[in-house]
């Protein structure tokens, strides 16, 4: 009997510990009060760095967007750039932009925001010889958005007129100039902070220093980043004093944390949890407009894909409506342009390829494959980054469909979509091998080297709401085969896009981007699948959360109310 | 004994060199490049090349044969591994590729979180596993024995992520007793001494902090403890069953000693050797296997960190953590061997 008691005691020990711990809830610091002055956002992954000029991941911008301001910003809930730290006007040919800087603004470290600070930032990003343009860092967005570094930069000079007036001199007109200025990557950091921290600026130890509504407090790597309201903020004062951006890697655990009241908002929820949230009065689901496109791409080093009839057969084989309905749910819409609807140049006149497996079969037969297509031939030697031949000309390989190994905001269920497409293609006479190339870095690496040798899934999310950031980024350099775009080449399209980015008149630009969409459609060069609105789940008490199609969402508008 | 320990400690060195070689080889066999992982969808050829050069990833992994052909001897040895190893000799684990901060620094911050979790889990496993194993063996084929066997089978088979989610649903969402994750509530702080929060809070007399830390650690610790508890229970039971059939146990019982004395003083000591071996193995596995628990409970330890680093091809982090885990495995094994001698006078290392 005595022993039994001992054993039972041991068995109950854990439960008792839990009870004991639970009893202590009323003692010590009371986390309950934190919901009033602390907004906790749950996310799946940590920021890479808090120096926005050297990163490309949304999780870094989510944080830097609270701490740093750009010269322009995107208006609430839109892609329209509006003045933030500066107001700029262009000269007649749009090659000189004169900007009046906001006066009386200070960085969080107490130093002045002025012309010198802006010039320091732009020169640091542009000049590879700048003492704070470190060799270990890649200022990717500067290079991508402003044409390159050093002499290749479209911004040839940032002139100081006086302490609060500057001029940007451009080598050629650039239509998305203000939209570029509004991007999170071109937010202005305190030069003093960069000089003080050196290469550690933006790291968990260095943090970052800007003029934004929140100040950096601490970063526990992989766990959480703490921010505190900037009482001297020049704009709308933050309503919540503290912000914690917490990493909860597991999707289900993140949702449970929201249900338990441990966090106030989250992104990246699984479909089942979204359904639960929609029916839970304590929660609310809001969506971010989907400025993104998912697609199925062809690798043009495959001989069969060089025949437009085969590409068209693929296009008619895919039941986009069904795929979107089943795998994107109510948050997705079918895509027929690379540009998402609402963007300048979106071509609504394009008639999407009809879902017609029988037509696919006849197109395949016409192209010389009456018995369907299960194997493909390599058109020319394909080499890897080190110059080794990976695929030899004439080599015959199975027809592969590469699916992404991860979920991305533009692809909520990449593998399932892959399986759906494979089933569609099979019904239309193709026999595809669903192919897992490896994990995400491997997939991206192979795509970059044009080695996804078949059909492959990928997508894109816009950075600044400008069509050049979609179409121009992808195909603007297509005078040569573009390796990372499945070796696609179209000089006419490239010339059109290169012209479109320089035109100052939006109407004229719209015409050219529309025309580009038509060319891409007529060529069946890629199959646009869907646009996905990103759902966010918030506690019902969270008010004032405004979703942004591009750029970081502003937590300063958030407040709590029953 | 001292000689033996010294000999064992010296033998750790070649083992660790072996570990570094294997890790280095395996990492480089996985396709994918740290530079591409770091630069993402936007990566340009030039930037990938620049980052590769910056971190020495453009050098051969082990030795440069081309340099040897050209008669360039220093070039022959100028490989990623030799660079890494020479840094290691200076106790420098290198910098993380993605965040560019010293691996040792992050390791110092994150390792205590995993250690604390593993220690508490082991404590729970021992506290529950050994007495239940003994009880089960002493009442073979009873309802208690049957329940223990089924329970331990479940313990080994229940996926940790499922158990973790169930714990959160019950104790955080429905009962609202315990927090769903992380190490401390916002606004609670504990002055760091060892970075083991439970210990530090007691050392500094911060009892509110202690309760908060306990509330946070209890669910992940229980989840992590399930497998070792089940294994220790089963091993204790089977080992005790063997010993309980020995003549000296019968003699002890016949002499009129109480069951408790027979079980705990006479039987357990002899039954404990295989259990200790298992405890040693489990202790190492707890450290290495905390990935799932840390992911579900957003626990800021090394498990999730090294998992992310493998995906991001952040070689220096993977190397640093693996090396640390290897060292701990070796030390725990050494401790296990020493404890044999302490428990069993027939075993001597001299």
How is B57-72 classified by DSSP, letter by letter? TTS-SS--HHHHHTT-
Contact B172, B178 (CB under 8 A): yes
* Region of residue A501 (phi > 0: left; psi between -120 and 50: alpha; otherwise: beta): alpha
Contact yes or no for B55 and A136 at CB 8 A? yes
Contact A226, A217 (CB under 8 A): yes
Length of chain B: 350
- Residue-wise pLDDT tens digits, A21-58: 444 433 333 333 344 799 999 998 888 889 999 887 78
List the structure tokens of A300.
Answer: 């043009």
CA distances from B232 to A421, A523, B154, B237 (A): 49, 66, 13, 8
Distance, in Å, from the CA atom of B285 to the CA atom of A328, rounded to the nearest integer, reads 39
Distance, in Å, from the CA atom of A327 to the CA atom of B223, rounded to the nearest integer, reads 33
* Chain A 4-33, residues with CB within 8 Å of chain B CB atoms: 6-7, 10-11, 13-14, 17-22, 24-25, 27-29, 31, 33
Contact yes or no for A444 and B36 at CB 8 A? yes
Measured at the CA of A223, the angle between CA A221 and CA A226, to 5 degrees, comes to 85
Distance, in Å, from the CA atom of A559 to the CA atom of A239, rounded to the nearest integer, reads 6
pLDDT at A458 (0 to 100): 93
Among residues A524, A487, A432, which one has the least CA distance to residue A303? A487
Residue A10's closest chain B neighbor by CA?
A: B128
Specify the range with the lowest mean pLDDT, choosing from A303-307, A544-548, B301-305. B301-305
User: Which of B135, B222, B298 lies at the smallest CB-CB distance from A223?
Assistant: B298
Distance, in Å, from the CA atom of A131 to the CA atom of A146, rounded to the nearest integer, reads 20
List the structure tokens of B225.
Answer: 């403890």
Contact yes or no for A204 and B99 at CB 8 A? yes
Q: Which of A138, A205, A242, A539 to mutate to test the interface with B (most CBs of B within 10 A)?
A: A138
pLDDT at A449 (0 to 100): 84
Beta bridge partners of A219: A225
Contact yes or no for B187 and A224 at CB 8 A? no
User: Which of A6, A11, A221 lies at the smallest CB-CB distance from B106?
Assistant: A221
Specify the range with the lowest mean pLDDT, choosing from A127-136, A185-194, A522-531. A127-136
* Chain A 459-478, residues with CB within 8 Å of chain B CB atoms: 460
Contact yes or no for A244 and B173 at CB 8 A? no
Contact B182, A26 (CB under 8 A): no
Contact B244, B138 (CB under 8 A): yes
Distance, in Å, from the CA atom of B102 to the CA atom of B93, rounded to the nearest integer, reads 7
* Chain A 369-398, residues with CB within 8 Å of chain B CB atoms: 385
Q: What percent of chain A has pLDDT over 70?
A: 93
Residue B248 in 3-state DSSP?
helix
Q: Which of A260, A282, A283, A447 to mutate to test the interface with B (most CBs of B within 10 A)?
A: A260
Contact A118, A188 (CB under 8 A): yes
Residue A386's closest chain B neighbor by CA?
A: B58
Helix A506-523 with A491-500: angle, nearest 10 deg: 160
Chain B contact present for A436, CB below 8 A: no
* Chain A 183-222, residues with CB within 8 Å of chain B CB atoms: 199-200, 203-205, 220-222
Distance, in Å, from the CA atom of A370 to the CA atom of B234, rounded to the nearest integer, reads 64
In sequence order, which residues have a C-beta less than 8 Å from that of residue A266 and are 6 or more positions away? A41, A42, A43, A248, A254, A255, A257, A258, A536, A537, A538
The answer, yes or no, to whether residue A241 has pLDDT greater than 80, is: yes
pLDDT at B288 (0 to 100): 65
Rounded to a whole number, what is the distance in Å from the CA of A135 to chain B's nearest CA? Answer: 7
pLDDT at B345 (0 to 100): 72
Contact A337, A346 (CB under 8 A): yes
Rounded to a whole number, what is the distance in Å from the CA of B201 to chain A's nearest CA? Answer: 12
pLDDT at B274 (0 to 100): 86
In sequence order, which residues have a C-beta less than 8 Å from that of residue A92 and are 6 or more positions away? none
Q: What percent of chain B has pLDDT over 90?
A: 26
User: Which of B178, B295, B313 lies at the smallest CB-CB distance from A22?
Assistant: B178
Distance, in Å, from the CA atom of A476 to the CA atom of A497, rounded to the nearest integer, reads 5
The answer, yes or no, to whether residue B303 has pLDDT greater than 50, is: yes
CA distances from A83 to A71, A123, A181, A342, B202 (A): 7, 21, 10, 22, 53
Among residues B219, B226, B220, which one has the least CA distance to residue B153? B226
Rounded to a whole number, what is the distance in Å from the CA of B165 to chain A's nearest CA? Answer: 6
Contact yes or no for A25 and B215 at CB 8 A? yes
Residue B223's closest chain A neighbor by CA?
A: A14
- Residue-wise pLDDT tens digits, B90-147: 888 888 877 778 889 888 888 999 999 999 999 999 999 999 999 998 888 889 899 9
Measured between beta carbons, the chain B residues lying within 8 angstroms of A448 are 36, 43, 48
How many C-beta atoms surround the C-beta of residue B53 within 10 A? 13
Distance, in Å, from the CA atom of A344 to the CA atom of A350, rounded to the nearest integer, reads 15
Specify the range with the lowest mean pLDDT, choosing from A231-245, A442-456, B87-101. B87-101
User: Which of A10, A138, A440 lies at the smallest CB-CB distance from B127?
Assistant: A10
User: Which of B51, B106, B181 lies at the smallest CB-CB distance from A248?
Assistant: B181
Whether the complex's predicted ipTM surpasses the cut of 0.90: no
Instruction: Tell me the mean pLDDT in the region A252-259.
Output: 93
List the structure tokens of A121.
Answer: 């930032």
Beta bridge partners of A356: none
Rounded to a whole number, what is the distance in Å from the CA of B90 to chain A's nearest CA? Answer: 22
In sequence order, which residues have a C-beta less than 8 Å from that of residue B328 and are 6 or more positions away? B284, B287
Contact yes or no for A18 and B219 at CB 8 A? yes
User: Which of B33, B169, B214 lies at the smallest CB-CB distance from A21?
Assistant: B214
Specify the range with the lowest mean pLDDT, choosing from A57-66, A539-548, B210-219, B248-257. B248-257
Distance, in Å, from the CA atom of B48 to the CA atom of B39, rounded to the nearest integer, reads 8
Give pTM, 2 decimals. Answer: 0.81
Q: Please compute Rg for chain B using Cα positions.
A: 25
Contact A40, A263 (CB under 8 A): yes
Place of tokens 């088979």: B157
Q: What is the mean pLDDT of chain A?
A: 89
Burial of residue A415, with CB atoms counted within 10 A of its CB: 0-12 exposed, 13-18 middle, 19 or more buried: middle
Length of chain A: 562
Q: Which helix (H) or strand (E) holds A188?
A: none
* φ/ψ (deg, to 5) at A488: -75, 145
Contact yes or no for B215 and A22 at CB 8 A? yes
Chain B contact present for A348, CB below 8 A: no
Contact A414, A332 (CB under 8 A): no
User: Which of B33, B101, B186 lies at the smallest CB-CB distance from A34?
Assistant: B186
pLDDT at A17 (0 to 100): 44
Measured between beta carbons, the chain A residues lying within 8 angstroms of B260 are 3
pLDDT at A92 (0 to 100): 87
The H helix count followed by the E strand count for chain A is: 17, 25
List the structure tokens of B127.
Answer: 């506290």
Measured between beta carbons, the chain B residues lying within 8 angstroms of A226 are 186
Contact yes or no for A13 and B127 at CB 8 A? yes
Walk me through the domains of chain A, giving residue ranges and CATH numbers.
12-246+536-560 (3.40.190.10), 292-532 (3.10.105.10)
CA atoms within a 13 Å half-sphere pointing along the CA-CB vector of A160: 12
In sequence order, which residues have a C-beta less than 8 Å from that of residue B185 and are 6 or more positions away? A29, A31, A34, B179, B212, B216
Rounded to a whole number, what is the distance in Å from the CA of B205 to chain A's nearest CA? Answer: 12
Q: Which helix (H) or strand (E) holds A487?
A: none
List the structure tokens of B41.
Answer: 């969808």
How many C-beta atoms surround the C-beta of residue A281 within 10 A? 6
Among residues A126, A125, A124, A103, which one has the least CA distance to residue A115? A103
Measured at the CA of B39, the angle between CA B38 and CA B41, to 5 degrees, comes to 125
The answer, yes or no, to whether residue A357 has pLDDT greater than 60, is: yes
Contact yes or no for B101 and A205 at CB 8 A? yes
Contact B228, B275 (CB under 8 A): no
Measured between beta carbons, the chain A residues lying within 8 angstroms of B50 are 135, 138
Contact yes or no for A21 and B298 at CB 8 A? no
Rounded to a whole number, what is the distance in Å from the CA of A54 to chain B's nearest CA? Answer: 9
- Residue-wise pLDDT tens digits, B53-70: 777 777 777 777 777 777
* Chain A 481-520, residues with CB within 8 Å of chain B CB atoms: none
Query: pLDDT grade, residue A150 (50/70/90)?
Result: very high
Among residues A7, A268, A103, A120, which one has the least CA distance to residue B236? A7
* DSSP result, B293-329: HHHHTT--SHHHHHHHHHHTT-HHHHHHHHHHHHHHH
Torsion over CA of A126, A129, A131 and A137, rounded to 10 degrees?
60
pLDDT at A19 (0 to 100): 41
pLDDT at A494 (0 to 100): 94
Contact yes or no for B219 and A38 at CB 8 A? no
Beta bridge partners of A167: A98, A159
Instruction: Tell me the mean pLDDT in the region A139-160.
Output: 91
pLDDT at B339 (0 to 100): 82
User: Which of A19, A31, A56 lies at the smallest CB-CB distance from B39?
Assistant: A56
Rounded to a whole number, what is the distance in Å from the CA of B140 to chain A's nearest CA? Answer: 14
Place of tokens 């009880």: B135
In sequence order, which residues have a C-beta less than 8 Å from that of residue A193 and are 6 or more positions away? A107, A109, A201, A206, A208, A209
Contact A558, A542 (CB under 8 A): yes
Among residues A548, A555, A562, which one has the least CA distance to residue A265? A555
Beta bridge partners of A483: none
Instruction: Tell me the mean pLDDT in the region A367-394.
Output: 91
Q: Which of B33, B187, B236 to mutate to test the interface with A (most CBs of A within 10 A)?
A: B187
Q: How far is CA A286 from the centre of its chain?
A: 18
- Residue-wise pLDDT tens digits, A459-491: 998 888 899 989 988 898 878 898 889 999 999
pLDDT at A31 (0 to 100): 38
Measured between beta carbons, the chain B residues lying within 8 angstroms of A257 are 168, 172, 180-181, 298
User: Which of B54, B124, B313 lies at the smallest CB-CB distance from A14?
Assistant: B124
Measured between beta carbons, the chain A residues lying within 8 angstroms of B104 are none
End-to-end Cα separation, chain A, in angstroms: 54
Measured at the CA of B286, the angle between CA B341 and CA B337, to 5 degrees, comes to 10
């Amino acid at each position: 009997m005595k022993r039994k008691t001992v054993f039972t005691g041991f068995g109950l020990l854990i439960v008792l510990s839990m009870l004991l711990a639970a009893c202590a809830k009323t003692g010590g610091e009371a986390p309950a009060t934190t919901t009033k002055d602390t907004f906790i956002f749950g996310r799946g992954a940590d920021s890479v760095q808090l120096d926005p000029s050297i990163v490309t991941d949304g999780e870094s911008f989510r944080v830097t967007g609270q701490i740093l301001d750009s010269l322009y910003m995107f208006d609430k809930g839109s892609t329209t750039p509006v003045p933030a730290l500066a107001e700029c006007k262009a000269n007649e040919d749009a090659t000189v932009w004169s900007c009046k800087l906001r006066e009386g603004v200070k960085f969080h470290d107490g130093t002045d925001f002025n012309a010198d600070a802006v010039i320091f930032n732009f020169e640091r990003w542009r000049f590879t010889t700048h003492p704070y343009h470190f060799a270990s860092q890649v200022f990717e967005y500067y290079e991508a958005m402003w044409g390159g570094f050093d002499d290749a930069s479209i911004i040839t000079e940032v002139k100081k007129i006086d302490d609060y007036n500057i001029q940007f001199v451009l080598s050629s007109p650039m239509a998305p100039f203000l939209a570029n200025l509004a991007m999170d990557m071109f937010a202005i950091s305190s030069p003093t902070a960069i000089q003080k921290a050196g290469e550690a600026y933006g790291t968990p130890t260095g943090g970052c220093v800007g003029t934004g509504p929140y100040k950096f407090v601490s970063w526990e790597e992989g766990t959480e980043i703490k921010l505190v309201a900037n009482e001297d903020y020049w704009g709308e004062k933050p309503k919540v004093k503290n912000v914690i951006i917490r990493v909860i890697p597991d999707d289900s655990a993140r949702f449970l944390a929201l249900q338990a009241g441990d966090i106030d908002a989250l992104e990246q929820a699984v479909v089942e949890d979204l359904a639960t949230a929609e029916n839970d009065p304590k929660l609310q689901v809001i969506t971010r407009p989907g400025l993104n496109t998912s697609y199925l791409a062809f690798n043009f080093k495959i001989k069969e894909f060089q025949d437009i009839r085969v590409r068209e057969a693929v296009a008619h084989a895919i039941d986009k409506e069904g795929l979107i309905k089943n795998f994107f749910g109510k948050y997705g819409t079918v895509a027929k342009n690379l540009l998402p609807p609402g963007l300048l140049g979106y071509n609504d006149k394009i008639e999407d390829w009809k879902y017609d497996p029988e037509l696919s079969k006849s197109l395949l037969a016409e192209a010389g494959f009456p018995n369907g297509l299960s194997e493909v031939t390599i058109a020319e030697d394909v080499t890897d980054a080190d110059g080794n031949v990976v695929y030899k000309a004439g080599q015959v390989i199975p027809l592969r469909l590469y699916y992404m190994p991860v979920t991305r905001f533009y692809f909520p269920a990449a593998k399932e979509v892959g399986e759906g497409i494979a089933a569609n293609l099979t019904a239309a006479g193709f026999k595809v091998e669903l192919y897992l190339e490896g994990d995400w870095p491997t997939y991206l690496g192979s795509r970059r080297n044009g080695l996804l040798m078949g059909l492959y899934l990928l997508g894109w999310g816009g950075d600044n709401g400008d069509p050049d950031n979609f179409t121009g980024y992808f195909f603007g350099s297509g005078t040569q085969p573009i390796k990372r775009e499945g070796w696609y080449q179209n000089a006419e399209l490239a010339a059109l896009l290169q012209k479109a980015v320089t035109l100052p008149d939006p109407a004229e630009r719209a015409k050219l981007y529309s025309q580009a969409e038509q060319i891409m459609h007529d060529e069946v060069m890629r199959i646009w699948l869907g646009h996905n609105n990103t759902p966010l789940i918030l506690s019902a008490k969270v008010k004032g959360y405004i979703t942004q199609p591009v750029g970081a969402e502003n937590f300063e508008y958030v407040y709590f109310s029953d | 004994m001292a000689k033996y320990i010294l000999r064992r400690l010296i033998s750790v060195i070649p083992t660790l060199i072996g570990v570094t070689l294997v890790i280095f080889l395996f990492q480089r066999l996985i396709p994918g490049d740290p530079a591409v992982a770091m630069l993402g969808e936007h990566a340009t050829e030039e930037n990938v090349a620049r980052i590769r050069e910056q971190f020495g990833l453009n050098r051969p992994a082990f030795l440069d044969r081309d340099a040897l052909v050209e008669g360039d001897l220093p070039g022959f040895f100028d490989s990623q591994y030799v660079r890494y190893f020479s840094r290691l000799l200076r106790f420098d684990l290198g910098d993380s590729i993605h965040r560019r901060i010293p691996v040792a620094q992050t390791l110092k911050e994150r390792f205590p979180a995993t250690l604390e979790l593993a220690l508490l889990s082991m404590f729970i496993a021992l506290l529950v596993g050994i007495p239940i194993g003994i009880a089960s063996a002493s009442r073979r084929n009873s309802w208690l024995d049957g329940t223990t066997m089924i329970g331990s089978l479940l313990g080994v088979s229940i996926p940790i992520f499922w158990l973790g989610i169930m714990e959160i649903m019950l104790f955080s969402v429905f009962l609202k007793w315990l927090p769903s994750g992380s190490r401390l509530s916002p606004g609670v702080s504990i002055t760091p001494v060892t970075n083991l929060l439970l210990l530090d809070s007691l050392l500094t007399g911060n009892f509110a902090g202690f309760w908060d830390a306990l509330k946070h650690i209890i669910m992940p610790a229980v989840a992590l403890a399930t497998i070792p508890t089940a294994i220790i229970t089963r091993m204790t039971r089977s080992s005790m069953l063997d010993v309980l059939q020995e003549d000296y146990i019968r003699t002890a019982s016949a002499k009129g000693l109480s069951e408790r004395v027979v079980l705990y003083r006479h039987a357990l000591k002899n039954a404990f050797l295989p259990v200790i071996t298992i405890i040693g193995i489990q202790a190492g596995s707890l450290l290495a296997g905390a990935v799932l628990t840390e992911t579900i409970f957003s626990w800021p330890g090394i498990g999730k960190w090294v998992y992310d680093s493998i995906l991001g091809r952040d070689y220096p982090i993977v190397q640093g953590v693996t090396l640390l885990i290897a060292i701990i495995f070796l030390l725990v094994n050494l401790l296990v061997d020493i404890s044999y001698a302490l428990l069993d006078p027939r075993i001597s290392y001299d």
